[in-house]
Structure 1
Amino acid sequence: MKLKPFALLLTSLFSLASQAAEPQIDRYVVTFPQGDHVEYKGTYAENFPNGLPVGVGSGLQFVRKDGDALVFATVTDRGPNADSPKSGKKDSKIFANPKFTPLLMTIRVVDGKAEASDAHALHDENGPISGLPLPEGLIGATNEIALSDTLQQLPSDKRGLDTEGITPDGKGGYWLCDEYGPFIINIDSNGKILKKHGPQAEQGEQGVAGGLPNIIKWRQANRGFEGITRMPDGRIIAAVQSTLDIDGKTKNTAQFTRLVSFNPETGKTEMYGYPIDVEVYKKAKDAKIGDIVALDNNRLLLIEQGGDKNKVMRNLVYVVDLSQASDLSSFDKEKAPEFDDAAQLKARGIKLAEKKEVVDLRKLGWQQEKAEGMTLIDNQTIAVINDNDFGLQPLLENPDADAKKADDYEVDGKGHLTRDGKEVATKISLKPLEKPESQNELWVIKLPEALN
């Protein structure tokens, strides 16, 4: 049917409105023009003839515009590692290069390319740090067993960090956050550690660093601080990746994860509850924060992600308003709110932060499992990046007929896999991740409306 002129005009207007409402996306794969890679000469080196790709993207911070170029700061996490079976009741990780030092790098986006360079190893007065787990017994230790690629137990490291987020300190350096302690760490522009803060040890406890609320020591293993941002008034906000597991009882049912506020000038701390989309997940622990970015002194952007009840991955960006949220610190003295359901939180007068969806990355075509870095370029443009996990993954070789999964086995820390306490011929090797998972993907997204 031929449309009348007025109808044609309306159709055109609706079409233009629809187009205007769609985010505009520039997609990049981060490259390393200086040939940066992670050395790997281990047992499975033939699978990685050029070494391992650098895994930037655990955090992302827009620094400046340099002509037509966009300049970002980014960090790696603890280094190339892979999942392995439990050792008794403890989780274990294979560290392909135990000597790896987490890196601060620069990403420059111009002329259709995103290039990472200018690597600075994180270090303190004793030299470069490592990404190995903290010793057992220290507050904030994950109690993970670190293994070599031949499944031999590695030493722990009191100075180890698993860095996951980055934000400016307002003095030319940065604040980073970490999943181990969890810690927040102040570094200079060359990667030197100036200060470190972590859960304050209580009587009978030993800690690496203090100044933050003791309760965050209950973060799930490898689920400490995942995002960090500096508010305009100078406060640092760090996001615990998932629900706390207080006394091993709350990770599956808690209604929220914690946002920890820290004032570097006064040491004052507060904590707010970010309400996860509880009804979407099989268990509350499946929700994960990717990163956070300050909009003003009360609002921030936040990535919430994780597999839903049908194991379908979701990656959503929300605006989170803290202006009416309760400081959880005073309520913790009576009973940690993680033990409360929604009705009990309301009865206690506990208000969680308010949230509103901004964009669904999956609907825009995002295919990476996680978005781990996010930053604000201007009030209508954000950038997100994934962490490529250094391009490696574990492979179960020669499995028993009735035990095809890694979880069917245990490691003894002496180079062997076991079942029911008996050594088996099955091995775990390391192989490259396929594309696109092995790549660092950076998206620059112009939103339909400004984030005012």
Structure 2
Amino acid sequence: MKIKRLALALSCCLPLIAHGAEPEVSRYVVTFPEGSRVPYSGAWSSAFPHGLPVGVGSGLQFVRKEGNDLIFATVTDRGPNADSPKAGKRESKIFASPTFTPLLMTLRVSGDKAVAIDARPLHDNQGPINGLPLPEGFIGATNELALDDTLKTLTGDKRGLDTEGITPDGNGGYWLCDEYGPFIIRIDANGKILEQHGPEAAQGEQSVAGGLPNIIKWRQANRGFEGLTRMPDGRIIAAVQSTLDIEGKTKGTALFTRLVSFDPATGKTAMYAYPIDADVYKKTGDAKIGDIVALDNHRLLLIEQGGDKNKTMRNRIYRVDLTQATDLTEFDKERPAEFDDAASLQRRGIHLAKKQLAVDLRSLGWRQEKAEGLALIDNRTIAVVNDNDFGLEAMLENPAAKAKKVKDYQVDGQGHLLLDGKATPTRIGLQPLAEPESLNELWVIKLAQAQ
């Protein structure tokens, strides 16, 4: 797909807190000029006369300073999609633009403006990839039914990626991570895929790529790798977004999510347990990682977020220390630690990573549901960005009196919306997101102390 050069104009560049020992926040609202949108001519195009906004912010990497300008690299995710009803026991998603290709971009912040230039579609030797789910039967398939905007089934694609994080590869390109496989992918500066790594297939399994621990295949659907970072020694650390659901038994009770270490030079892997704030959530599987960024060879910053027991959103950045964290690899051979409670972890000698709160974004006025990109500018300054989900959401047209929510209905994959298994005059469609969810917000935060 040909995408025109993107320009982002930022406004509202005002310090939120500028005194005392509190963090200083410069907040920007990212807007998209006409001509830079994703073309959309589908069934609900009248609601989007200028197309769809590009959803920046799935990952963020600070590259360098040029004078006072800040240069970042960023990526989109799999493309415009919206929630839709279940098809039997399968989840489903509406893909508004099934041919959308995830993009690599350069973001320049200069004064009170930022410009995203050099939009580069991700591609391999066969050409541009897309963001459709993997076919059934492959490790990384989400058991998710992909639908077009008329509720008809789309064919999965082995080359599909749902990109989420970005970090330099040390050679002028980048490593990305993905939620499907979950995969770690290396690309060059033009967005060409050079290598791809995913869960190693066991006997009888099919995989798109291998080299990573097989156990991470148990990631929850659409909650694979959500962030990654390159440590100074060259290792790549990728964060699984939420608790693993091993054999369908652990997603709601596991006390941690996994940080996977991969050394590109040797292929060696290791896995560490990041302890989520387990007591805060109704189920531990409600916790989600947003992104991670390295501080040194043993420490990193990590966004943990999610709705608490009262459905109140939390968005916190923790300083995480892996120095004493146990490599879970050998323990997995006996019994994965996701099945252990705190006492059992202690008996087995499994040490989780240590964590300390660095900043509570909500206390500073963060209003978006998610923070998905995290970058380290210097040892006191970070940048955080959200993903606006391409500015669209699902809606119901002429809903039944007893069924006002999308999840109250079913789909059959053949273009029909059902209620209690029967045809209904209700239609499910797409509409623009309202503010503030439709906005991309970029924050630059100067912390009270060095990290």
Q: What range describes the TM-score normalised by the shorter chain of this pair?
A: over 0.9
- Say if 2:93 and 2:144, in contact at 8 Å, map to a contact too: yes
Residue 33 and residue 68 in structure 1: after superposition, are their counterparts in 2 closer, same or farther (change >3 A)? farther
Please give the residue correspondences for 1:17-416 in structure 2 after superposition, counting only pairs within 5 Å: 19-32=19-32, 35-416=35-416
Q: Which residue of 2 aligns with 1:3?
A: none
Q: Deviations over 1:349-373 (max 9, x none)?
A: 1000000000000000000100000
- Say if 1:29 and 1:114, in contact at 8 Å, map to a contact too: no
Alpha-carbon shift at residue 420 of structure 1 (Å): 2.9
- Structure (1 or 2) with the larger CA radius of gyration: 1
Q: Which residue of 2 aligns with 1:5?
A: none
**4+ residue runs over 3 A deviation:** 31-35
SS in 2 for 1:382: strand
Q: Deviations over 1:96-147 (max 9, x none)?
A: 0001000001111112112222100000000000000000000111111110
SS in 2 for 1:79: coil
Q: Deviations over 1:176-231 (max 9, x none)?
A: 00000000000000000000000000000000000000000000000000000000
Amino acid at match of 2:78: R
Query: In 2, distance between residues paired with 1:193 and 1:234?
Result: 19
- Say if 2:86 and 2:92, in contact at 8 Å, map to a contact too: yes
Residue 33 and residue 408 in structure 1: after superposition, are their counterparts in 2 closer, same or farther (change >3 A)? closer
Query: In 2, distance between residues paired with 1:93 and 1:80?
Result: 10
Alpha-carbon shift at residue 29 of structure 1 (Å): 2.0
Amino acid at match of 1:271: M
User: Which moved further from structure 2: 428-437 or 296-305?
Assistant: 428-437
Query: In 2, distance between residues paired with 1:297 and 1:111?
Result: 33
Q: Which residue of 2 aligns with 1:444?
A: 444
- Say if 2:34 and 2:50, in contact at 8 Å, map to a contact too: no
Q: Which residue of 1 aligns with 2:8?
A: none
- Say if 1:57 and 1:372, in contact at 8 Å, map to a contact too: yes
Query: In 1, distance between residues paired with 2:175 and 2:369?
Result: 26
User: Which moved further from structure 2: 32-41 or 284-293?
Assistant: 32-41
SS in 1 for 2:19: helix
Flag structure 2 segments of 5+ consecutive residues without an equivalent: 1-17
Query: In 2, distance between residues paired with 1:327 and 1:88?
Result: 39
Flag structure 1 segments of 5+ consecutive residues without an equivalent: 1-17
Query: In 1, distance between residues paired with 2:311 and 2:387?
Result: 20
SS in 2 for 1:332: helix
Q: Deviations over 1:14-52 (max 9, x none)?
A: xxxx93211111111224458321010011111011100
SS in 2 for 1:310: coil
Q: Which residue of 2 aligns with 1:14?
A: none
SS in 2 for 1:20: coil
Amino acid at match of 2:406: A
Alpha-carbon shift at residue 154 of structure 1 (Å): 0.7
TM-score by length of 1: 0.95
Query: In 1, distance between residues paired with 2:405 and 2:134?
Result: 28
Query: In 2, distance between residues paired with 1:116 and 1:430?
Result: 27
Amino acid at match of 1:55: G
SS in 2 for 1:60: strand
SS in 2 for 1:19: coil
How well do the aligned residues superpose, as a CA RMSD in angstroms?
Answer: 1.2
- Say if 2:177 and 2:225, in contact at 8 Å, map to a contact too: yes
Amino acid at match of 2:129: I
Q: Deviations over 1:277-304 (max 9, x none)?
A: 0000000010000000000000000000
Alpha-carbon shift at residue 417 of structure 1 (Å): 1.0
- Say if 1:31 and 1:115, in contact at 8 Å, map to a contact too: no
Identity %: 74
Residue 73 and residue 34 in structure 1: after superposition, are their counterparts in 2 closer, same or farther (change >3 A)? farther
Query: In 1, distance between residues paired with 2:194 and 2:425?
Result: 48
Q: How many residue pairs are counted as aligned between the two chains?
A: 435
Q: Deviations over 1:79-107 (max 9, x none)?
A: 00000001111110000000100000111
Amino acid at match of 1:37: R
Alpha-carbon shift at residue 436 of structure 1 (Å): 1.9
Query: In 2, distance between residues paired with 1:31 and 1:113?
Result: 10
- Say if 1:134 and 1:159, in contact at 8 Å, map to a contact too: yes
Residue 33 and residue 51 in structure 1: after superposition, are their counterparts in 2 closer, same or farther (change >3 A)? closer
Query: In 1, distance between residues paired with 2:161 and 2:260?
Result: 19
Query: In 1, distance between residues paired with 2:91 and 2:269?
Result: 31
User: Which moved further from structure 2: 396-405 or 311-320?
Assistant: 396-405
Query: In 1, distance between residues paired with 2:76 and 2:34?
Result: 17
